[in-house]
Amino acid sequence: MDESCVNIKRLEEDEEQCINEDKTDRDKAEEKLISSNEHSRKPWQQLRSRIRECVLYVKKVLVSFASMEWYCYALLGIITALMSFFMDMTVAKLLNAHQWLYGCLKGHHLLQFLCWTLYPACLCALSTSFTHSICPFSAGSGVPEARAILLGMDMPDYLSLSNLFAKLFGLICTLASGSTVFLGKVGPFVHLSIMVGAFMSRLHVSCRGGKQRAAKGEMLVVASAVGVASCFGAPVSGVLFSIELMGTHYSVKDYCPCFFAAACGAITFRLLSVCSRDQETIQALFKTSFSSDLPYQPFEIFIFALLGLFCSILSCIYLFCHRWALRFIKTNKPISRFLATEKSLYSAIVAFLLACFTFYHSAGYFIAAELTMKQLLTSLLDGTSWYTVSQNASVLPEPQKTFWQAWNPPGRSYFQTLGFFIAAKVGLLVVACTLPLPAGYFMPVFVYGAAVGRLVGEGSAYLLSDGISSAKILINPGGYALAGAAAFSGAVTHTLSPALLALEMTGQCSHAVPALVATLVSNAVARAKHRPSFYDGISLIKQLPHLPSLIRACPKLANVQIKQFVIPAGVVLERTETLASLQHILNDSADGQFPVVDSHDSPILLGTINRSQLWERLHQHRNEGLCKQLEEACSIQPVRLHLTPESTVKQAHCIMSVTGEQRLFITESGRLCGVITWKEMKKIIEEMAKEV
C-alpha cells in the first residue's frame, strides 16, 4: 500500500511538472510571437511618423492652392507625355539598328532580304505572343473598348496594370517593325492614357482618404484627350478628338480639365524633345515652311473640294474592304481556328508577307519603302514642287535629296510611285489591320491621305507649271498633302478634328480653310447613308455596346421608344403621408430617393425627396409626434428632368450621359408611369448590339 501511494504521488508530481513546463514554453512562444509582430508591424516608427507628417504638410500646402483633382490632371498629362517620349525614343533606336544592319549588308541581296523580312516578322511575333500571354485584351487599337468603358460598361480587364504593361511593350515592338507593317500608335496610346487615368482616379480617391469618390468617368474623358495631345504635342485637337470620337455625349464640366491636362501633356512632350536635342526649340512635330504671303489662290478652293471628294471615295473603298476582311476572318472557320491557337505564327506569317512585298528590290522600289513613316510624312508635306526639284535637284539639302530620290527612283517618275503607293497601300493596310497585336490605325491613314493630296497637288502643279493668273504664283503641293491627310483621316474616322490636328502638327495656319473645306466635303460623303466609321465598324463586329455606332449601322434604332423598357418606380409617397408611415417605409426600403405624388389614385408627380432629408425631418419632429403629414414637414423638390413613354432610347441615353442621372422618371400627362435606370439603359444597349 505504501509503495503504491508513493508511486501515485510521484505520477501526480510528474504530471504537474509537465503541465508547468508546457505553460512556460507556451508563454515564451507567445512572447516571441508578440515581439516579432511588434517588430514587423512598426519598423522605424519614428522615421515613419516624420515622413507621414511631411506628406500631410505637403498635401495641406498643395490643397491650399488648388484641389487635389487638378494635381491629378497635371500628373496624368506629365506621365502620359513621358510614356510617349520614351516610347518614341526606343522605337527610333530599334529602327536605326534595323537600317544600320540593312545598310551593312549592301550588295548581298539575299542577306538584305532576310534582314528586311525576318526583323519585322520576329518583332510582330514577339508583340503578339507577349501581349496574349500577359493580357489577351491588349491586342488591337483599344479605342472601341475605351468608348464602351466611357459609356459606363464594366470592363475592368481593359484598365488593369497587366494590360498597361503588355500593351506598352507590344506597341513598342509593333512600331519598331517600321513601314513594312505600316501601323501607328495613336489608338493604343489613347487606351494607355485611359489606363493611367483610371489609376489617377484611384489615386484621387486615396488622397481624399476614401471618403469622397472621384468622378472616374470625368478622369477617363480627360485621359482620352491627353493621349492625342501627348502623341503629337497638339492639345486643342486632342480635346476635339475626345469630344468627337471617344465620348457619346460631352459634358461642359469636362471642358476645362481636358484642356488643362492636354496642355500639361503637350508642353511636357515638347520640352522633352528639346532636352534630348531632337529639336532646337519648342516647335511643331512636322515643321513646314509654306509661304504665308500668298499660300493659295481663290481658284484652288475648288481643287481642295475635289480633293475632299476624292478622299471620301477612297475612304469608302478602304472601309468596305476593312469590314469585309474582319468579317471574313471571323466567319472563315480554318482561319479563325488558326488564329485561336497560333496567333504568334499568324502575325509572323502576315508580317513576313508584307515585308516581302515592300522589299526594296521588289515592289518596295515603287513605294519609297526605305523611308520610315515619319520620313514619308515629312517628304509628302514638303512645300517645294517635285516638278521644280526635278529640274534642279542638286540644290536640295541632303535629307530632302534622299527623300526625293526615294519617290523618284531611276527609270520611274514620282507620279508612278505616288499612284502605285496609293493603289497598293489600301490592300496592305487592310491586311495589316488583321494582325492580333497592339497597333494604331490613325497615323497610317493620315500618311495615306497625305500621299493622295500630294498626287493631286503635283498634278495641279504640273498642269499649271507656268503659275496661276498674271502673278505667276506657283502651286504648293505640300498644302494639298496637308489637306489630303486631314480629309482622308477625317472621312475614315467620321470626325473633323484631323483638320485641326494637321495644322497643329505642322504649325501651318495659312491652310486652315482649305483643310477644313476638304475635311467637310469628305465627311459629308463618307457619312451618307449612315455608313459606319472605322472604329464603329470594329465596335459592330465585336458587338461592343456603343450607341452611336449602333444607330449608324441601323438608323431605325434611333426611334426605339422607352415605353417597352419602363420599370415600376418602387416606393411612391403621397403628399398626405404621415411621418409614422414614413418611418416604416424607411425601415423596409433602401431607396435613396422617393417620388412624391398627389395620391395613389391620381399619381400626379409633384417632385422627389431624399432619404437623408426624411430621416432628418423624422428626428426633428419626433417630440411633436409622428402624425404630421409629409407636405407640412418636408420640402418636396421638383423634378428637373423627366421623359414620356414616347421618348426614344437615344434621348434618354443623352440626358443620362450629360447629367449623370442614374434614373429618370417617366410621366404621361403629369402622371407617374415608372422609371428607367442607367443600369437598365446599359442592358438595353447591350441587347441592341447583339441584335445588330
> What's the CATH code, domain 66-276?
1.10.3080.10
Locate CATH 1.10.3080.10 in the chain: 66-276, 298-388+400-555
Residues 552-596 pLDDT 10s: 777 777 788 887 778 777 777 777 777 677 777 777 777 777 788
End-to-end CA distance of the chain: 100
Percent of the chain clearing pLDDT 90 (strictly above): 14
Residues 293-305 pLDDT 10s: 667 778 888 999 9
β-sheet bridge partners, residue 605: 597
Fold category of 559-691 in CATH: CBS-domain (3.10.580)
Higher-pLDDT residue of 612 and 534 is 534
Locate CATH 3.10.580.10 in the chain: 559-691
- What pLDDT was estimated at residue 466? 66
Distances (CA, A) of 22 to 9, 145, 304: 20, 63, 95
Q: What is the mean pLDDT of residues 531-540?
A: 85
**pLDDT band for position 307 (50/70/90)?**
very high
Give the global pTM: 0.81
Residues 401-438 pLDDT 10s: 567 777 877 777 888 888 899 999 998 999 998 899 99
**pLDDT band for position 336 (50/70/90)?**
confident
Closest CA to 85 of 183, 191, 230: 230
User: Does residue 242 contact residue 251 with C-beta atoms inside 8 Å?
Assistant: no
CA distance 289 to 476: 11
Distances (CA, A) of 196 to 27, 73, 180, 202, 213: 51, 11, 30, 10, 17
CA distance 352 to 335: 17
- What pLDDT was estimated at residue 392? 63
CA distance 400 to 398: 6
Listed range (40-44, 77-81, 241-245) with the worst mean pLDDT: 40-44
Residues 63-108 pLDDT 10s: 666 667 788 888 898 999 999 889 989 999 999 998 889 888 888 8
Percent of the chain clearing pLDDT 70 (strictly above): 80
- Burial class (CB within 10 angstroms; exposed 0-12, middle 13-18, buried 19+) of 473: middle
Closest CA to 300 of 514, 471, 515, 499: 514
Cell 489630303 appears where?
Answer: 484
**pLDDT band for position 689 (50/70/90)?**
confident
Higher-pLDDT residue of 554 and 114 is 114
- What pLDDT was estimated at residue 683? 79
Closest CA to 218 of 68, 65, 69, 59: 69
- What's the mean per-residue pLDDT of the chain? 79
Q: Is it the case that residue 551 has pLDDT exceeding 60? A: yes
- What pLDDT was estimated at residue 518? 93
CA distance 446 to 85: 20
Instruction: Return the CATH class of domain 298-388+400-555.
Output: mainly alpha
Closest CA to 500 of 307, 169, 244, 221: 244
Q: Is it the case that residue 61 has pLDDT exceeding 50? A: yes
- What pLDDT was estimated at residue 16? 54
User: Does residue 541 contact residue 141 with C-beta atoms inside 8 Å?
Assistant: no
- What pLDDT was estimated at residue 11? 42
Cell 496661276 appears where?
Answer: 468
Q: What is the mean pLDDT of residues 143-165?
A: 83
Residues 214-226 pLDDT 10s: 456 778 888 888 8
Listed range (154-168, 286-300, 436-450, 514-528) with the worst mean pLDDT: 286-300
Strands 642-643 and 663-668, sheet pairing:
parallel
Higher-pLDDT residue of 688 and 17 is 688
Strands 573-574 and 593-597, sheet pairing:
parallel
Which cell numbers in the block locate residue 477?
A: 503641293
Higher-pLDDT residue of 479 and 677 is 479
The helix or strand, by DSSP H or E, that contains position 58, with its residue range, turns out to be helix 45-65
- What pLDDT was estimated at residue 517? 92
Closest CA to 428 of 445, 407, 412, 415: 445
β-sheet bridge partners, residue 594: 609
Q: Is it the case that residue 28 has pLDDT exceeding 60? A: no
Contacts of 453 (CB under 8 A, 6+ apart): 307, 311, 380, 477, 480, 481, 482, 483, 484, 485, 487, 488, 518
